[in-house]
Amino acid sequence: MVRFLVPREDRWPAQVQEAFAFLFDRGFVVLDRSTYRLGESSVIAKSNAGVALDADFDAQLVSARLIRLQDGSRPDRWWENRTPRCSMDLGEVARVLAPESRQVQGELPRLRAEADRAPHLRFWASVLRAVASPWLEGDERWFDRTAQLLPTTPGVVVAAFLRDLFACTEALRARFSRAQRLGPTEPLLLFPVEGGPGVRFGHLDGLGEFNLHGRGCLLELRSGAVVDFDWDDQSREVFDGWRLQQYARSTGAHHLSGPVLVEAARADARLQETRESWFAVVAR
C-alpha cells in the first residue's frame, strides 16, 4: 500500500471518523492508532467503553471488538480470551443479541484497496448501534450482562485460571520470602522479604485479598474471581478440579462442570497431573 497516493477520504483516520461520527458526537475520542505492515488499527473510547477496529489486508477484512477499559486505559493483553472478559468480539455479540444485524456481512468486499475498508467500517458501526447502545450511553453493567450470554469454553477458563494464578503467586513472591509452619501443629505463615512476623492474610495491590489455609492460599480478586491452590512438597502450586470449578463459577461460567475442566487441564502443556484430577504447575 502506497499511502501517500491515497485520497484523503480513503485514508484510515478519515474513514473511521466518517463511519463512527455518532460516537465522536457523543464525546468518544481516538485513544490509540497504529499502523503495521499490512494494516491499520484504532481504539475509540470514552470512560470505560472502548471499540477496537482493525483493518488487516492479509486477512482481507476489518474486525471489531468491544473493550472494557480500566480507568480509561486498555487492560494488558486485552485481546486474549480470558475470564472474566475484558473484551468481546462484536460479531459474536451480534450473533447472540441481534443476528439480523449481520445479514449483509457476506456481501462486504475483500480488502484489496484502502477504499474497501469504508463499507466494512460502516457495517460495524451499524452493528454497534444495533447491539451496544446501552453500553455506549453509559450503562457499565451492560458489558457483564452481555458477557454472561456468550459461550465460554473449558480451555479458556483453565487459561484464565492460570493467568490469575501466575499473577498472584508472582505478587506473593515479591513480598514474601517463604511460606512456613513454625511447628507441626502451627498454621502456615508467609514471612515478609524485609523480615518481621509471619502473616496469614493480607492485601495484594492491584489484585485483591489473600488468606492462607491448610497447605495453600485462597485469593479473592478485585474482578470477583476466586483463585485457590496448595503448595506441594516441591513448592509447586497444585490444584484440583473442584478449585477449577470454583474459579469458573466465580467468573460467571456456571455451566462448566469439574470433570469438563479437568479434561481441559489435561490438555494444557503447563500442567502435570500428579494424581487423579490434581495438577501441578510445571511451566509458565
Average pLDDT over the chain reads 90
Model pLDDT for residues 93-121, shown as the tens digit of each residue: 988 898 888 878 878 999 999 999 999 99
What is the model's pTM?
Answer: 0.59
Instruction: Say if residues 48 and 70 touch (Cβ distance below 8 Å).
Output: yes
Residue where one domain finishes, among candidates 147, 180, 213: 147
Please give the tally of structural domains in the chain.
2
Nearest-CA neighbor of 18 among 6, 27, 9, 31?
9
Nearest-CA neighbor of 113 among 35, 57, 189, 178?
57
Model pLDDT for residues 46-89, shown as the tens digit of each residue: 999 999 999 999 888 899 999 999 887 887 777 665 657 788 88
Give me the domain span that covers residue 124.
3-147
Same domain, 114 and 191: no
Residue where one domain finishes, among candidates 147, 163, 181: 147
Q: What is the C-alpha to C-alpha distance for residues 44 and 120, in angstroms, rounded to an integer?
A: 16
Q: What is the mean pLDDT of residues 125-142?
A: 94
Residue where one domain finishes, among candidates 147, 179, 206: 147
Which has the minimum average pLDDT: 24-33, 45-54, 223-232, 245-254? 245-254
Same domain, 34 and 141: yes
Same domain, 141 and 7: yes
Same domain, 7 and 143: yes
Banded pLDDT at 1 (limits 50, 70, 90): very low
Same domain, 67 and 137: yes
Model pLDDT for residues 188-237, shown as the tens digit of each residue: 999 999 988 999 999 999 899 999 999 999 999 987 889 999 999 898 99
CA-atom Rg of the chain in angstroms: 23
Nearest-CA neighbor of 86 among 164, 203, 166?
164
C-alpha 188, offset from chain centre:
32
Same domain, 98 and 11: yes
- Please report the pLDDT score of residue 245 as a whole number: 95
- Please report the pLDDT score of residue 4 as a whole number: 54
> To the nearest whole percent, how much of the chain has pLDDT over 90?
63
CA dihedral for 141, 146, 152, 156, sign (positive or negative): negative
